[in-house]
Amino acid sequence: MIYDPNPVAFWLLAAMVAGCALAVVRARKLFHAGLALVGTLFAVAGLYGLLQAWFLAAVQVLVYAGAIAIMLLFAIMLTHNMMNPDLKSLTTQPWTAAALCLMLLAILLGGTLSSTWQTAPDTTLSPTWTPKCGFQVAEAIPSVQALGFRLLDPFTLPFEMVSVLILVSLIGALVVARRNPALPEAPEGREEKAP
Amino acid sequence: MEPIFEQFVRDLTGGFQVPFWAPMLVSLGLVLAFIALNAMFMIWLERKICGRIQRRMGPMLTGPKAWARFSMWTGGWFQTPCDSVKLLLKEDIIPAQVDRFGFMLAPVLVFMAALAVYVPLPISSTSYAQSAPIVVAVADLDIGLLYVVAITTLTILAILTAGWASNNKYSLLGGMRAGVQILSYEIPMLFALMGPMVLAGSLSLGDLVLVQHAGLFGVPLLGWFLVPSFLGAVVYLICAVAETNRPPFDMPEAEQELVAGFSTEYTAMRFAMFYLAEFSNTFVVCMIFTAVFLGGWTLPGFIPPSSLNLGFFTLPYFDLLAGMAIFFAKAYAVVLLLMWIRWTFPRLRPDHLMTFGWKFLLPLSFVNLLVCIVLAAIQQIYFGGNPG
Amino acid sequence: MMRQFPANPDLTVEEFELNMGPQHPSTHGVLRLVLTMDGERVVRCKPVVGYLHRSIEKMAENRTYTQVIPVTDRLDYCTSMTSNYVYVMAVEDLADITVPPRAEYIRVIMSELNRIASHLLWYGTFALEVGATTPFIYGFRDREKVLDLFESTCGARLLYNYLRIGGVSRDLPEDFCERMLAFLDEWEPLIREYEDLLDENPIFYNRTKKVGFLSAEKALAYGVSGPNLRASGMARDVRREHPYAVYPELEFDVPVRTEGDVFARYRIRMEELRQSARILRQCAEKLPGGPYLEPQPLRVVLPEGETYVHLESPRGDIGCYLVSQGTDKPYRCKFRTPSFCHIAVFQHLVRDCLIPDIMAICASFDVVLPETDR
């Protein structure tokens, strides 16, 4: 099924992605960079929505913007001063960096525009879908169900491997976050002189 | 919502075709109006219930005196509009050392989240006897449940930003506590909602309600997901209270310890945004609970006719109106339950909160999911249930 | 203070200081707590008192003995009768003034009613600290009835200035005993309601059990007294050990618990409410007639000497040390107040606690700052 997204919507979202990405790099306070990153992720979710991949859009917001970016913000808040001083730029050779970036952009654009993208076959299961209440519901294309079936049928092994990977990372996080027994404990309260 | 709106306009004006952007704007206007009016009513109700539980009368002095003299429950209804006007007129103070961008962004974000979460919530539908019902929601998304949970992440973001930008240790503590609390309780909430999702075979909230009307194992009375997914309903209710930072989970805003937590430095309209968003979110979780567990706008065995003949006058759109009435009655019943809980229990300590969420609610929601999977399987095998 | 990880010296953990008060919605009065925190846990707590110092003891040196009585009102304004009583008792002890029996009974009635009022206030604020807002209103609603009784007797609700050297300033109203008994009949079953709200609640239980443990040795070392000491296992009550007024003739129990945590202190005060009601009923029965005041000259002159008396206030052991040099003004009047010792021991109980625990422990100690700072 060919879907023609609204060009205004596309350009708005693309501008938001690019603008927020630029803000991430150029922001003076680290926390602002974190917020701009969240903006980028939201805009990308919007782009997924434009492509009618609703589930992916929701999961992008839920996982990326909602968990990963928030963890990033926590880390930013917990380290160092509360109000960050200005971050100085660490680049020593700006022109070489710019040239390399432009070359990378040229390669990516060339590759993206000239290749033929292979898409999965049509993901409709049936033209109309019958929920349990017994009567027809008009024209629903349940992408979530399609995804679910695909995960169980051709892509079982990657699905199981991903769950094992998540389990491994969970255990790793627990191990890392454990209270370090080698850390010296706080000494017993010394009596302080009166001010 | 669009077909209904277009039908309505056509009935009213005799065939006027609305432009494509009109339903969106009308929905936005309706949702904003609803948030404002509902917040006013709910705040008044909260204060009255609080008063009743504490054996006093709540607000009585505003509004016509005759109304107050008549009964406790009719007095003081003008209190919230007065309070809103007062809040609007207060001086908006931005402390000198705050991060201005973050400080001003946080209330905007929190209100965005409060507004955006209304999109997939269905409050009624056209008659579901013969043809496919059209659900009254801003947009009955296919991924309604997932969308709702995803929008709560915006709230976390707003609270974290508010806490950090205020340049105040207390606010920072409050913001981080709130963020961690909401994050931790999102997971059991999601799993609790998965039970009904499995039973209905769809993430769309409108579908969930219609499946509940059809009943479980062919029995309409057992259809409400409260019955097969009872554990899930309890877990969801507890998580909902934690998500909206209501007592007994209001550690981030605990007056006794942190003054006002992450919103300490906010005054006037910015503070009002947080307050409004909290009440709006409370009502939204009650709406979700009603839609997912209490059968939404349906009553078992009762299908309202599409227009009611009252003798001298036929009331059109009766199915929509009856559905809305039933839905709001149920939602407010849940709101009353939440208020009752608020004024009875003491506050949970943060580590107790975390232990409770991770070690108790999460396993409970897994058990619930298992039970629902088994029931859904039985439904499919023996009673011809799930699609696909 | 920074601590380093030995394996990686670049990683440091810093503690930060949090200042609680003196303006804070939850500290009971103007108390400043300087907390050193490691994340959410408290490493050190230093209470800073003195924000409410009004030099009451110095003021007492410039006033005649009768003029000091209103000043003692402000010593512990939640139990103004008891503060009056301890001072007046010291003066009477030094001057060898006997108080008529009716006045003794009236004083005991007032002390016990004040105990009830103070414990109800404590109950309300304690529940509020833990997060339950409803018991606050319940406690204050019933306290209003006690304050009505006080108002009908001496005209004031909080600062009574009722006791005089040699008795009380005016007699009880005609229907005082009926009204008091009516209040007790109506209110005593409500104690059960208060307990029902909190006792079996798992949230409350988890916040108060095993929190803020005070051992008997530490309590004795710091001079803790009253319900806080009795919660740690020591059965000490001034009304039993050094009885004063008509307490030897009255029957009452002294509740004791051994756990020493916040929950024990809460339970003891609830039990004390019942015991106070019991005492009041006996007093109403046994109240004799007769004069309510042994009249004293306007200018009371005490012989030279010194004395120390103490009695059981709702907070603990309040004492008055009076030195006279034969004039009509006290030479030195020193008050030993229980809250002073309680704050001193409090800072050692909050190590390794979270901030909500600090609130719960502070509230369970029933500390009032006017008494501490004088």
Q: Tell me how long chain A is.
A: 195
Position A47 in a domain = yes
pLDDT at C273: 92
pLDDT at A187: 44
Residues C328/C299, Cβ–Cβ less than 8 Å:
yes
Asked if pLDDT for residue B257 goes beyond 60, the answer is no
Cis peptide before B107 (omega within 30 of 0): no
The C-alpha of A159 sits at a distance from chain B's nearest C-alpha, in angstroms, of: 19
Tell me the pLDDT tens digit for each residue of C65-104: 999 999 998 888 888 999 999 999 999 999 888 899 999 9
Mean of the per-residue pLDDT values of chain A: 76
For residue B338, give the nearest of B208, B236, B197 by alpha carbon: B236
Q: How sure is the predictor about A87, in pLDDT bands with cuts at 50, 70 and 90? A: low
- The secondary structure of chain A as a DSSP string is ------HHHHHHHHHHHHHHHHHHHH-SSHHHHHHHHHHHHHHHHHHHHHTT-HHHHHHIIIIIIIIIHHHHHHHHHHSS-SSPPPPPP--S-HHHHHHHHHHHHHHHHHHHHHSPPP-PPP--S-SSB--TTSS-BTT---HHHHHHHHHHTTTHHHHHHHHHHHHHHHHHHHHHHSPPTTSPPPPPPPPPPP-
Q: How sure is the predictor about B78, in pLDDT bands with cuts at 50, 70 and 90? A: confident
pLDDT at B384: 67
| A71 in the same domain as A8 | yes
Which of B165-169, B223-227, C287-291 has the lowest average pLDDT?
Answer: B165-169
pLDDT at C26: 61
The C-alpha of B132 sits at a distance from chain A's nearest C-alpha, in angstroms, of: 6
Among A56, A88, A120, identify where a domain stops: A88
Asked if pLDDT for residue B367 goes beyond 70, the answer is yes
Among A26, A56, A88, identify where a domain stops: A88
Q: How sure is the predictor about A82, in pLDDT bands with cuts at 50, 70 and 90? A: low
The predicted complex's ipTM stands at: 0.82
Q: Decide which of A22 and A145 is more confident.
A: A22
The C-alpha of A78 sits at a distance from chain C's nearest C-alpha, in angstroms, of: 10
Contact B157 A38 (CB under 8 A): yes
Q: How sure is the predictor about A125, in pLDDT bands with cuts at 50, 70 and 90? A: very low
Q: How sure is the predictor about A124, in pLDDT bands with cuts at 50, 70 and 90? A: very low
pLDDT at C9: 66
Q: How sure is the predictor about A137, in pLDDT bands with cuts at 50, 70 and 90? A: very low
pLDDT at B258: 52
Q: How sure is the predictor about B295, in pLDDT bands with cuts at 50, 70 and 90? A: confident
**Cβ pairs A/B, distance under 8 A:** 108
Residues B330/B286, Cβ–Cβ less than 8 Å:
no
| A145 in the same domain as A81 | no
Position A116 in a domain = no
pLDDT at C116: 94
Burial label, B350 (beta-carbon count in 10 A; 0-12, 13-18, 19+) = buried
Contacts with C16 from chain B: Cβ below 8 Å: 169
For residue B303, give the nearest of B123, B124, B139 by alpha carbon: B124
pLDDT at C80: 92
- The secondary structure of A120-138 as a DSSP string is PPP--S-SSB--TTSS-BT
| A145 in the same domain as A83 | no
Asked if C16 has any chain B CB less than 8 Å from its own CB, the reply is yes
In sequence order, which residues have a C-beta less than 8 Å from that of residue B219 and are 6 or more positions away? none
Residues B214/B387, Cβ–Cβ less than 8 Å:
no
Position A35 in a domain = yes
pLDDT at B332: 94
Asked if pLDDT for residue C46 goes beyond 70, the answer is yes
Rounded to whole angstroms, the Cα distance separating C199 from C120 reads: 16
Asked if A156 has any chain B CB less than 8 Å from its own CB, the reply is no
Mean of the per-residue pLDDT values of chain C: 88
Which of A14-23, B128-137, B333-342, C363-372 has the lowest average pLDDT?
Answer: B128-137
pLDDT at A140: 42
pLDDT at C210: 84
pLDDT at A156: 85
Rounded to whole angstroms, the Cα distance separating B19 from B16 reads: 10
Interface of C with B in 136-165 (CB under 8 A): 137-138, 141
Q: Decide which of B288 and B263 is more confident.
A: B288
Work out the average pLDDT over C141-148: 92
Contact B99 A29 (CB under 8 A): yes
Q: How sure is the predictor about A132, in pLDDT bands with cuts at 50, 70 and 90? A: very low
- Chain B residues near any Cβ of chain C (below 8 Å): 50, 53-56, 169, 247-248, 250-251, 254-257, 259, 343-352
Q: How sure is the predictor about A139, in pLDDT bands with cuts at 50, 70 and 90? A: very low
Contact C127 B346 (CB under 8 A): yes
Residues C69/C87, Cβ–Cβ less than 8 Å:
yes
Work out the average pLDDT over C349-373: 86
Which of B4-18, B344-358, C214-228 has the lowest average pLDDT?
Answer: B4-18
Contacts with C3 from chain A: Cβ below 8 Å: 183-184, 186
Domain C11-373 is found in CATH 3.40.50.300: no
pLDDT at C331: 93
pLDDT at A126: 47
In sequence order, which residues have a C-beta less than 8 Å from that of residue C35 and are 6 or more positions away? C17, C18, C19, C20, C42, C44, C45, C355, C358
Work out the average pLDDT over B234-246: 90
What CATH code is carried by the domain that includes residue A37?
A: 1.20.120.1200
Asked if pLDDT for residue C111 goes beyond 90, the answer is yes
- Supply angle C-alpha A176, A168, B180, rounded to 5: 55
Position A62 in a domain = yes
- Supply angle C-alpha C208, C209, C210, rounded to 5: 115
Mean of the per-residue pLDDT values of chain B: 83
Subunits next to A (3 or more Cβ pairs <8 Å) are B, C
CA contacts within 13 A on the Cβ side of C213: 7
Domain containing residue A79: 1-88
Work out the average pLDDT over B206-210: 85
Work out the average pLDDT over A53-80: 86
Asked if pLDDT for residue B54 goes beyond 50, the answer is yes
Residues of chain A with pLDDT > 90, as a percent, come to 30
Asked if A183 has any chain C CB less than 8 Å from its own CB, the reply is yes
Asked if A154 has any chain C CB less than 8 Å from its own CB, the reply is no
Nearest to B143 among A58, A82, A137 (CB): A58
Which of B298-312, C61-75, C179-193, C215-229 has the lowest average pLDDT?
Answer: B298-312
Q: Decide which of C252 and A87 is more confident.
A: C252
Q: Decide which of A31 and B309 is more confident.
A: A31
Position A148 in a domain = yes
Tell me the pLDDT tens digit for each residue of C12-29: 677 778 787 776 666 577
Asked if pLDDT for residue B103 goes beyond 70, the answer is yes
Number of domains in chain A: 2
Position A115 in a domain = no
pTM of structure: 0.84
Asked if pLDDT for residue A1 goes beyond 70, the answer is no
Position A42 in a domain = yes
| A153 in the same domain as A80 | no
Q: Decide which of A195 and A42 is more confident.
A: A42
Contact A183 C38 (CB under 8 A): no
Asked if B201 has any chain A CB less than 8 Å from its own CB, the reply is yes
The C-alpha of C356 sits at a distance from chain B's nearest C-alpha, in angstroms, of: 6
Contact B105 A35 (CB under 8 A): yes
Asked if pLDDT for residue A136 goes beyond 60, the answer is no
pLDDT at C11: 67
pLDDT at B322: 84
Domain boundary assignment for chain C: 11-373
| A151 in the same domain as A73 | no
Work out the average pLDDT over A57-79: 88
Q: How sure is the predictor about C145, in pLDDT bands with cuts at 50, 70 and 90? A: very high
Which of A91-105, A175-189, C106-120 has the lowest average pLDDT?
Answer: A175-189
Position A195 in a domain = no
Burial label, C106 (beta-carbon count in 10 A; 0-12, 13-18, 19+) = buried
Residue C19 CB: number of other CB atoms within 10 A?
13
For residue B20, give the nearest of A48, A8, A56, A46 by alpha carbon: A8
